[in-house]
């Protein structure tokens, strides 16, 4: 008998189905099929129990008419998908079989099994697309007799009672849209002409919605034990963009990693079910995008916001058993650029990745970022690596040196015929940003008197300014040799992108006010070259405008001039702080504890510069956080606390958003706090790999399952070393059946 655990029924309880038939003399994939006799049109049906003769049915809808093929050495088992009666593989007995001479019977034996009378050889007739099943090498083939019994006998291949059609079983998913009307409702309820950010409160899917379809809005369904984001779009339903320009979509955008140093990345994880994809009768416009890897680049070329590669689901059709062709599976392909900005047939290439079945639950992870070139440590690789159902498909993006950012969008995008339906669950997102300091010494120029940073202006001839933080590119500079002098060159990509100019009394910003330019180094212009004076004792610099006796100077009013001042005036003295030196506020610790009056949060900080306040964010899961209060920064104070007085009977997640006076911000780590009212407490949650994981259970014993309902661990230990892979898991108390979700990262 096939065992089905309680968590399988509670959480995911799903069936996998096959996409298509494979080559001659090979089994027809690992999916679920109905075996229809070519002569009679009836379907092979499992017996009512072990050693009972199999039968035939007029319809192939019941579970006891569903079969899979499992490899067993050089042969195959034919395995029933029934959960009652004959639940195992088919047996082909001899003259003394329990059902009569050579009558095929059911068993309860699970595959794979090598028993001589339970293995079969498969033959495929490619012309007729039909199959014959020989009992091992006996020369006997599965046969539907005139009296209705099923035997294995010596029959020629011209006798269609020994020939069978393999018809994929394609169910209707519980949350599938089967409405034959693909037009937008006449009521206009999904028109949304005033905004594309159409969402529901506390959506389970991460990211900001971009809705450009009037067919349906984003919604959610509870299927297979979890909540899914529903993305349904139809051909011609884009009511937002100009006709025939952009395709319908409901997508979610995620904040991009805008640094390009090795170790920068954007990473998305989620669980996907594809129910339908766009259909244009086999043209190049077939299919629907489920994800995009995004990223801008230097040097121009292509659209302003280019897609590096798009992941496209293309429909694969099969017979539904009634003579109708339906979508039974989907080929996931990568539509990748061949050069930066590439588009069209010349600029993009289609690469097949993997076939997935309709309604198959598939885990997906996409990471876009920069890593070291394994062939040359002085170079880097810009990559888009995806894992689909545990299978990795890595790809290096062309011209990595031109890449400026890494981003991800997901949902459902493009349908030029028919309808597309995507379902997403368990979505998470993170990004890491590492400044690229390769090839040049990029620094922030911090004034020793004020602690502020020299900042490029918004355009040529505009006065430079000062900033409280040195993270933005317009606060980054390089010193470029120009003969006996140096240019001070901005690393900004917009506005004043060039070297600094030190004008005279009639300068465009005022007398001796330093201004930005758009001129690239090296340049020998007298008013754009500087003498660099370095003090090794204090590790500080002064910048003299050539030999004029005037030094780069931050005035009390915030303007920057080149002024004749002594070296003792610290407003003319600067620190050259590497951009690899961390400047933002550091969260040393962040902890939470459930108490009688609520949840007590405590955090410790260091390196406090320009910090305005802390915003406390709370969520019921890792996807959506709401602000529940603020704590004002106190200069020189390192320890802070906040009491969340809302008492709940569930796990709450918290993070701290630190906001600077100039609007820049950073986040603490996420912590979870369990209410004391609950009997089952897991912490920390999320838990890092190889970290101690504590399970406080009143029942004592428990089991741990993955997101597919497979039992991974059981025990009674209160603390275990977390050795599971990254992902979402469920823990169930054995006696109470209470279930808690936890995340490993």
Active site residues: 294, 413
Quick one: which of 487, 485, 463 has its CA closest to 477?
487
Whose structure tokens read 């088992």?
A: 77
Beta bridge partners of 141: 134, 153
Going by the DSSP 8-state scheme, the letter that residue 185 receives in this structure is P
Quick one: which of 345, 313, 309, 308 has its CA closest to 329?
313
The CA dihedral of 470, 474, 478, 479, to the nearest 10 degrees, is -100
Cα separation, 226 vs 220, whole angstroms: 10
Residue 681 phi, psi dihedral angles, 5° rounding: -125, 130
Q: Are 203 and 411 in contact (CB under 8 A)?
A: no
Contact partners, residue 663, CB within 8 Å, separation at least 6: none
Quick one: which of 381, 377, 438 has its CA closest to 406?
381
C-alpha atoms less than 13 angstroms from C-alpha of 50 in its C-beta half-sphere:
7
The length of the chain, given as a count of residues: 745
CA angle 430, 433, 438 (to 5 degrees): 150
Strands 164-168 and 33-37: antiparallel
Q: How far is CA 725 from the centre of its chain?
A: 16
Q: Which two tokens stand for residue 305?
A: 């916001």
Beta bridge partners of 175: none
Q: Are 43 and 60 in contact (CB under 8 A)?
A: yes
| Helices of type H across 17-121 | none
Beta bridge partners of 310: 292, 335
Dihedral sign, Cα of residue 498, residue 499, residue 505, residue 510: positive
Contact partners, residue 19, CB within 8 Å, separation at least 6: 29, 31, 168, 316, 318, 328, 329, 330, 355, 356, 357
- Helix then strand count (H, E) for the chain reads 2, 49
Q: Residues 465-481, buried b or exposed e (16+ Cβ, 10 A)?
A: bbbbbbbbbbbbbbbbe
CA angle 404, 452, 492 (to 5 degrees): 25
Q: Are 145 and 97 in contact (CB under 8 A)?
A: no
Kindly list the distances between the CA atom of residue 649 and the CA atoms of 464, 673, 680, in Å, as whole numbers in the listed order.
54, 11, 11
Tell whether omega for the bond before 112 is within 30 degrees of 0, i.e. cis.
Answer: yes
Beta bridge partners of 55: 45
Cα separation, 148 vs 551, whole angstroms: 102
Cα separation, 487 vs 523, whole angstroms: 7
Q: Are 639 and 653 in contact (CB under 8 A)?
A: no
Task: Kindly provide the residue ranges of all beta strands, DSSP E only, lying in 404-464, ordered along the sequence.
Answer: 407-413, 419-432, 443-447, 453-455
Kindly list the distances between the CA atom of residue 322 and the CA atoms of 81, 169, 329, 521, in Å, as whole numbers in the listed order.
21, 11, 18, 73
Quick one: which of 38, 46, 343, 331 has its CA closest to 164?
38
- The answer for 19, left when phi > 0, alpha when psi is -120 to 50, beta otherwise, is alpha
Q: Residues 376-385, buried b or exposed e (16+ Cβ, 10 A)?
A: eeeebbbbbb
């Amino acid at each position: 008998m096939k065992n089905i655990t309680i968590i399988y029924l509670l959480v995911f309880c799903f069936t996998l189905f096959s996409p298509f038939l494979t080559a001659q003399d090979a089994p027809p994939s690992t999916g679920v099929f109905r075996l229809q006799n070519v002569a009679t049109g009836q379907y092979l049906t499992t017996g009512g129990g072990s050693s009972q003769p199999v039968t035939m049915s007029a319809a192939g809808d019941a579970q006891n008419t569903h079969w899979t093929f499992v490899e067993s050495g050089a042969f195959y088992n034919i395995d029933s998908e029934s959960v009652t009666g004959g639940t195992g593989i088919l047996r082909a007995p001899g003259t003394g079989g329990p059902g009569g001479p050579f009558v095929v019977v059911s068993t309860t034996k699970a595959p794979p099994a090598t028993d001589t009378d339970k293995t079969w050889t498969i033959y495929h007739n490619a012309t007729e697309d039909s199959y014959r099943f020989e009992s091992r090498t006996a020369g006997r083939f599965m046969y539907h007799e005139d009296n209705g019994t099923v035997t294995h006998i010596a029959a020629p291949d011209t006798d269609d009672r020994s020939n069978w059609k393999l018809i994929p079983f394609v169910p209707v998913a519980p949350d599938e849209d089967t409405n034959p009307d693909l037009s937008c409702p006449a009521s206009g309820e999904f028109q949304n002409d005033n905004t594309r950010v159409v969402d529901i409160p506390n959506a389970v899917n991460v990211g900001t919605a971009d809705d450009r379809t009037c067919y349906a809005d984003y919604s959610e369904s509870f299927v297979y034990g979890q909540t899914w984001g529903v993305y349904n779009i139809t051909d011609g339903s884009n009511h937002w963009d100009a006709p025939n320009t952009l395709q319908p979509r409901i997508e979610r955008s995620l904040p991009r990693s805008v640094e390009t140093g090795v170790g920068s990345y954007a990473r998305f994880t989620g669980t996907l079910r594809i129910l339908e994809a766009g259909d244009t009768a086999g043209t190049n416009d077939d299919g629907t995008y489920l994800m995009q890897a995004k990223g801008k680049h230097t040097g121009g070329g292509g659209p302003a916001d280019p897609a590096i590669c798009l992941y496209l689901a293309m429909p694969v059709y099969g017979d539904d058993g009634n003579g109708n062709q339906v979508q039974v599976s989907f080929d996931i392909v990568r539509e990748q650029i061949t050069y930066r900005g590439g588009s069209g047939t010349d600029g993009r290439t289609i690469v097949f990745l993997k076939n997935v079945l309709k309604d198959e639950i598939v885990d997906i992870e996409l990471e876009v970022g920069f890593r070291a070139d394994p062939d040359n440590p002085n170079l880097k690789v810009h990559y888009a690596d995806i894992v689909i159902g545990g299978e990795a498909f890595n790809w290096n993006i062309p011209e990595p040196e031109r890449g400026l950012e890494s981003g991800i969008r997901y949902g459902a995008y493009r349908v030029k015929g028919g309808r597309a339906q995507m379902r997403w669950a368990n979505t998470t997102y993170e990004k890491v940003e590492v400044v690229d300091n390769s090839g040049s010494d990029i620094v922030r120029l911090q004034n020793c008197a004020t602690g502020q940073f020299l900042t490029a202006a918004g355009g040529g001839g505009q006065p430079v300014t000062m900033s409280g933080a040195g993270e933005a590119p317009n606060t980054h500079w390089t010193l470029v040799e120009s003969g006996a002098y140096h240019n001070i060159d901005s690393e900004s990509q917009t506005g004043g992108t060039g070297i600094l100019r030190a004008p005279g009394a009639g300068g465009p910003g005022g007398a001796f006010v330093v201004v930005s330019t758009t001129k690239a180094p090296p340049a020998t212009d007298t008013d754009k070259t500087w003498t660099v004076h370095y003090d090794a004792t204090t590790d500080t610099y002064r910048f003299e405008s050539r030999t004029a006796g005037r030094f780069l100077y931050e005035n009390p009013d915030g303007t920057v001039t080149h002024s004749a001042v002594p070296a003792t005036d610290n407003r003319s003295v600067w620190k050259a702080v590497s951009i690899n030196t961390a400047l933002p506020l550091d969260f040393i610790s962040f902890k939470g504890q459930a108490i009688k009056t609520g949840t007590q949060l405590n955090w410790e900080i260091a390196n406090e510069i320009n910090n305005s306040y802390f915003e406390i964010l709370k969520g019921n899961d890792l996807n959506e956080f709401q602000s529940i209060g603020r704590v004002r920064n106190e200069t020189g104070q390192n320890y802070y606390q906040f009491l969340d007085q809302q008492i709940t009977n569930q796990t709450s997640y918290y993070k701290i958003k630190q906001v600077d006076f100039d609007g820049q911000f950073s986040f603490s780590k996420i912590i979870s706090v369990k209410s004391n009212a609950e009997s089952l407490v897991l912490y920390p949650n999320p838990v890092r790999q190889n970290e101690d994981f504590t399970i406080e259970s009143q029942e004592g014993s428990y089991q741990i399952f993955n997101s597919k309902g497979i039992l991974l661990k059981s025990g009674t230990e209160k603390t275990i070393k977390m050795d599971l892979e990254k992902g979402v898991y469920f823990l169930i108390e054995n006696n109470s059946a209470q279930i808690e979700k936890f995340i490993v990262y």
